[in-house]
Amino acid sequence: MVLPALVGWATCAAGITLRPGLGWAFASLALALVVTFVAWRASNTALAATITPVLVVAAMLFAVSLGSVHRDQVQLESVSGQTLNVGVRLAQTTIPGNASVRAEILSVNGVPLEKGVVPARLIGTVSDSRVALGSTTEVSAYLTKGEPWEQYSWVLMVREPPEQWREPHRFLQATDDLRADFLARSLERPGDAGELLPGLAIGDTTAVDPGLVDAMRVTSLSHLVAVSGANCAIVVALVVGVVAVLGGGIWIRMIAGISSLIGFVVLVTPEPSIIRASVMASIVLIFLASSRPVRGIPVLGITVLGLLAIDPWLAVDFAFALSVLATGGILVLTGPLVEIFSKVLPASLSLVLALPVAAQVACQPVLILLNPIIPTWAVLANTLAAPAAPVATIVGMLACVLGPLIPWLAEGLLWLAWLPAAYIAAIGRVLADTPYSSMPWPEGWWGALGVLLLGYSATWLLLARASRPRWAVMSVTGLCLVTLMVIASTFAVPRILVKSSVPSQWTVAQCDVGQGDALLVRSEGSVVMIDTGRDAKALQRCLTLLGVRQIDLLVITHFDADHVGAWRVVADMTETVWIGSREDERGQSYIEDFRRAGLSVQAVSEGDEATVGSYGLEVLWPPIQALSEPGNDSSVVISLVPDGTCGECVSGLFLGDLGETPQRMMQGRHALGFVEVVKVSHHGSSDQHDGLYRALASPIALIGVGAENSYGHPAQSVLDVLAETGLVVRSDHSGTSTLHKNEAGDIVVWSER
C-alpha cells in the first residue's frame, strides 16, 4: 500500500493546485479499465501492477473535482468581495483574544447553502467569552476567497462580534464545559506545568506561555504541547487492556476501543493527527477482531488513502504530513534501530531511544520547511520525556472526566498529573536555554532536500548489512559526507560561530533588517522591541541570532512599512503594542490587524511611561495636542533611562523618523542632555536638527539602513555631525549589533560582521 498511498497523495496535491475538471477523472478511470482489460487478456503481470495506481489516480481526481465543486459554490462566488450576514458554525472552541477561528459557512443573507456547508476561517474578534465547538450564529463579515491550496476555502473578515451565539448539541456543550473546568482547575497549579497539562491531556493549548511553546519547538517536544496521535494509542491500549483483564472477548474489546476513540476525539476536538490515528486504530481493531494479520504500513496506507478521498486538502496540511511521516518512520525503523541499539544498551532503553530517532529522521525534512533549524537535543529531550508523557496524558484525562463526578479524587489526580507535566516543561526550558540548542540550516525546499538526503542516507548506512554491495555503501557514505561538509562550511558553521560570539549580557540591539528599523532593549529577562522593519525573514534571523523568544512590549513608532511591515513575525511573542496617538487610514488598518491578532493596542503620547527590568521608558513625542501630521513627524520617541542598579545598562534616545522641525520642538519641551546611545532619526536622512545631536553628545549612534539604498541614506552631513562625538554603527556595514557596558563602565559594541 506504500506506492498507492504516495500516488494518491501526489495526485491530490497536484489536483488541488491545477484543479482539473471531472473530465480528467473520467479519463483516468477509462485508462484504468483499458489497462485492466489488456492485462487480463494478455496475462501481463507487469501491466497488471499498474492497475491499482491508475485507479487511485482516478479516485483522487474525482475527490478533488467534487471537493472543488463543493468548496467553490456559485452561491458564494456570486457574493465574494462583499460584506454579508453569514450563518456560521464553529469548528473549534474559541476564547477571548483568538483572532483566527476555524468555522463552517451555513448560509448567506439567510439563505442556506444548496450544496452543504463549506470550511472557512473567521478573522477578527468573534466573542468576548469562551464559545464552544459547534456553536452557531449569524455574523456580519466581509467574504473573500482563500488560496486554492488552503484548508479553508473562504475567509470571513468579521466587522463586529455577533451579539449572541446559539449553543451546540448538549453533548458538545457538555464536553466543552468539561474542558473549560479542567483548564481552570489546572491553571490553579503553579508554573509551566499548570499551563502545559491541559495540552498534554485534552489538547487545550490556550493558556500555554509563548516562551514555553518556542522552547518545546526548539527541542522537538512540540508534539507534547497538544494532543497527538500517540495519545490515541495510549487511550486505546488502556481501554482494550482493561476490558481484556475483565474477561471481555475480542469483539467486546473492539467495540470498547472504538467507543473510547470516539469519546476521545470529541473530548480533545478533531485535528488531522487525531483523525489519522483514530481511523488507523479502528482499522487495526477491526482486523484483530476478524482474526486477520495486521501489518502497520498497509494499514497506514489504507488510512491515508481513505482520509485523502474524504478530504483531499489534507495532502497539503503540514500537521497531517508530520503525523503520517512520524507513524511511518516508527513502523519502519524502530525494529531495526532497537536491534542495533541493543548491542550496547539494555533492550528497554533501546526501544525508548529508537522511537524518537525514527520519528525525528522521518519528519525532519518537513520540519525544515516550517523552521529551518536542526534541534540539537531532539532525541535526548524525547527520550527523557517518553516515560512521563503517558502518565500526564492518562492521569490528566481521568482528572478531567472525573472533575464534575468526584471532585476530591480529580484534585488528587490533577496534582499527580502535574508532576510529569512539570518534568516535561523543565526538560524543554532547560535544553532550549543551552548555548547550542539548535543549529541553523538552509531554508526552503533545498534545505529540506539536503536534510532528507543526509538523514535517510545515514539511516540506511546504519542499518546496512554486510551483504550490501561495498560500492553502494561507500557511495552513500561519500554522498553523506560531501553533503554535510558543503552545508556545514557554507551555512551552519559560520552561523554557529557568529551566534556563539553574541555577548550574553547585551542590553540594546539593532537588527539588520535592511532599509528599516528594528531595535531591542533587554533587562532582567524582559524585552522591548521598537519597530520591526519590513523584511520578515531578516527580522526572524535577528531574533534567532540573539535568542529572543518573547517580547514584553512592542513599540511601533509610526506606520511606514519599513518600521511595521514585519510585525506578524512577533505577533505570537507579545501581547501589548504601543502606537502613537495620531494615525491616518493606513494606521487604522494596521491597528485592526493588531487587534485581530489578539494584541492589546495602547495609543501613547508625551509623558507615558513603563518599566522594563532595570530600565525606565518614557515617551517624549508626540505631545497630546496635535503639533504634527500623522507619519514621520508624529513618530513615537522613547527615552531609555537605567535605574542605577544595572551595571551593563546604557541610556538612550530612539527618534523614529522624526524630522528637523519636530526635533527642535521636542528639544524645546524637554531638557535633553547627554545619552550614551542615540538611534538616529529617519535612517540618517538630511532632515535633522544638528543642535539636538550635539546636545546629546552620544558616543554611540545607531543607524538602520539598507546597503546601497536609493534614498542616499545616511547623509554625509549627518555622519559628520555624529563623528564629532562618537562612533556610528550602521546596519548595512555591521549587520546586527549589540551594546552593553563592561565592569569598567565602557560601552562594548559587538557586531556580526
Instruction: Give yes or no: residues 590 and 683 share one domain.
Output: yes
Nine-digit cell at 607? 509623558
The Cα-based distances of 248 to 238, 240, 255, 506 in angstroms read 14, 9, 10, 64
Instruction: Look at residue 61 in the predicted model and tell me its pLDDT.
Output: 85
- Give the burial class of 317: count Cβ atoms within 10 A of its Cβ; 0-12 exposed, 13-18 middle, 19 or more buried: middle
Those residues whose C-beta lies under 8 Å from the C-beta of residue 78, and which sit 6 or more positions away, are: none
Locate cell 498507492: which residue?
4
Contact between 359 and 310 under an 8 Å Cβ cutoff? The reply is: no
Instruction: Give yes or no: residues 306 and 282 share one domain.
Output: yes
Q: How far apart are CA 426 and CA 420, in angstroms?
A: 10
Q: Which of 261, 228, 188 is nearest to 414 (CA)?
A: 188
Instruction: Look at residue 446 in the predicted model and tell me its pLDDT.
Output: 74
DSSP character for 622?
Answer: S
Instruction: Look at residue 750 in the predicted model and tell me its pLDDT.
Output: 92
Instruction: Look at residue 20 in the predicted model and tell me its pLDDT.
Output: 74
Instruction: Pick 112 or 476 by higher pLDDT.
Output: 112
Q: How far apart are CA 702 and CA 687, in angstroms?
A: 16
Locate cell 478530504: which residue?
311
Q: How far apart are CA 342 and CA 383, in angstroms?
A: 15
4-8, 23-27, 266-270: which is most confident: 4-8
Q: Is residue 124 part of a domain?
A: yes
Instruction: Give yes or no: residues 127 and 264 share one domain.
Output: no
pLDDT over 70 (residue 176): yes
Which domain covers residue 102, as residue numbers? 75-168
Instruction: Pick 658 or 216 by higher pLDDT.
Output: 658
CATH of the domain at 113: 2.40.50
Locate cell 502518565: which residue?
391
Contact between 515 and 535 under an 8 Å Cβ cutoff? The reply is: no
Write the Ramachandran bin of 612: left for phi over 0, alpha for psi from -120 to 50, otherwise beta: beta
Q: Is residue 695 part of a domain?
A: yes
pLDDT band, residue 578 (cuts 50/70/90): very high
Residues 292-308 pLDDT 10s: 555 677 878 888 888 88
Region 27-52: what's the mean pLDDT? 71
| pTM greater than 0.95 | no
Q: Is residue 271 part of a domain?
A: yes
Nine-digit cell at 34? 483499458
Those residues whose C-beta lies under 8 Å from the C-beta of residue 344, and which sit 6 or more positions away, are: none
pLDDT over 90 (residue 171): no
DSSP character for 190?
Answer: -
Instruction: Look at residue 511 in the predicted model and tell me its pLDDT.
Output: 94
Residues 117-153 pLDDT 10s: 888 888 877 777 888 888 898 888 888 887 777 777 7
* Least confidently predicted of 264-278, 338-352, 526-540: 264-278
pLDDT over 70 (residue 475): no
Residues 592-619 pLDDT 10s: 888 877 788 899 988 999 998 889 999 9
pLDDT band, residue 271 (cuts 50/70/90): low
Enumerate the H helices of 547-643 as residue ranges.
561-564, 585-596
Q: How far apart are CA 736 and CA 752, in angstroms?
A: 6
Q: How far apart are CA 440 and CA 373, in angstroms?
A: 5
Cα-only R_g, the chain: 29
- Give the burial class of 75: count Cβ atoms within 10 A of its Cβ; 0-12 exposed, 13-18 middle, 19 or more buried: middle
Q: Is residue 356 part of a domain?
A: no
Contact between 361 and 421 under an 8 Å Cβ cutoff? The reply is: no
Q: Do the strands 100-108 and 111-112 form a parallel or antiparallel pair, or are they unpaired?
A: antiparallel
Instruction: Pick 74 or 35 by higher pLDDT.
Output: 74
Q: Is residue 350 part of a domain?
A: no
Q: How far apart are CA 86 and CA 103, in angstroms?
A: 11
Q: How many domains are contained in the chain?
A: 5
Region 407-418: what's the mean pLDDT? 91
Q: Do the strands 519-523 and 526-530 form a parallel or antiparallel pair, or are they unpaired?
A: antiparallel
Instruction: Look at residue 44 in the predicted model and tell me its pLDDT.
Output: 63
pLDDT over 70 (residue 747): yes
Percent of residues, the chain, with pLDDT higher than 90: 16
Instruction: Look at residue 496 in the predicted model and tell me its pLDDT.
Output: 63
Q: How many Cα atoms sit within 13 Å of 33 on the Cβ side?
A: 7
Instruction: Look at residue 509 in the predicted model and tell me its pLDDT.
Output: 95
Instruction: Give yes or no: residues 267 and 311 share one domain.
Output: yes
Q: Is residue 332 part of a domain?
A: no
Q: How far apart are CA 743 and CA 355, in angstroms?
A: 49
Contact between 336 and 463 under an 8 Å Cβ cutoff? The reply is: yes
Instruction: Give yes or no: residues 269 and 301 share one domain.
Output: yes
Q: How far apart are CA 132 and CA 177, in angstroms?
A: 8
pLDDT over 70 (residue 553): yes
* H or E element, residue 738: strand 737-741
Instruction: Look at residue 466 in the predicted model and tell me its pLDDT.
Output: 47
Residue 87, beta-bridge partner list: 107, 138
Q: Residue 436 phi/psi, 5° resolution?
A: -120, 50
Contact between 196 and 225 under an 8 Å Cβ cutoff? The reply is: yes
Those residues whose C-beta lies under 8 Å from the C-beta of residue 512, and which sit 6 or more positions away, are: 538, 542, 704, 731, 732, 734, 735, 736, 752
Q: How far apart are CA 335 and CA 339, in angstroms?
A: 6
Please give the single-letter amino acid code of residue 297. Answer: I
Instruction: Give yes or no: residues 124 and 31 share one domain.
Output: no
Those residues whose C-beta lies under 8 Å from the C-beta of residue 342, and which sit 6 or more positions away, are: 350
Instruction: Give yes or no: residues 621 and 677 share one domain.
Output: yes
pLDDT over 70 (residue 487): no
Instruction: Give yes or no: residues 135 and 271 share one domain.
Output: no
CATH of the domain at 731: 3.60.15.10
Nearest 10 degrees: Cα torsion 360, 365, 371, 374: 50
The Cα-based distances of 276 to 229, 270, 453, 501, 587 in angstroms read 7, 10, 27, 44, 44
pLDDT over 80 (residue 156): yes
Contact between 199 and 227 under an 8 Å Cβ cutoff? The reply is: yes
Q: How many helices (H) and strands (E) does the chain have?
A: 28, 23
Instruction: Give yes or no: residues 531 and 651 share one domain.
Output: yes
Q: Which of 425, 429, 432, 398 is nearest to 414 (CA)?
A: 398
Q: Which of 429, 493, 479, 451 is nearest to 360 (CA)?
A: 451
Q: Is residue 703 part of a domain?
A: yes
- Give the burial class of 723: count Cβ atoms within 10 A of its Cβ; 0-12 exposed, 13-18 middle, 19 or more buried: exposed
Contact between 256 and 412 under an 8 Å Cβ cutoff? The reply is: no
Domain boundary among 481, 500, 519: 500
Q: Is residue 348 part of a domain?
A: no
Nine-digit cell at 353? 531511544
Instruction: Look at residue 83 in the predicted model and tell me its pLDDT.
Output: 84
Instruction: Give yes or no: residues 549 and 457 share one domain.
Output: no
Instruction: Give yes or no: residues 536 and 666 share one domain.
Output: yes
Considering the chain, what is the average pLDDT of its residues? 82
Nine-digit cell at 451? 536534510
Residues 627-637 pLDDT 10s: 777 888 889 99
Domain boundary among 500, 518, 547: 500
Instruction: Pick 530 or 484 by higher pLDDT.
Output: 530
Nine-digit cell at 182? 479542567
Domain boundary among 135, 168, 201: 168
Residues 713-742 pLDDT 10s: 898 889 999 988 889 999 999 999 999 998
Instruction: Give yes or no: residues 303 and 420 share one domain.
Output: yes
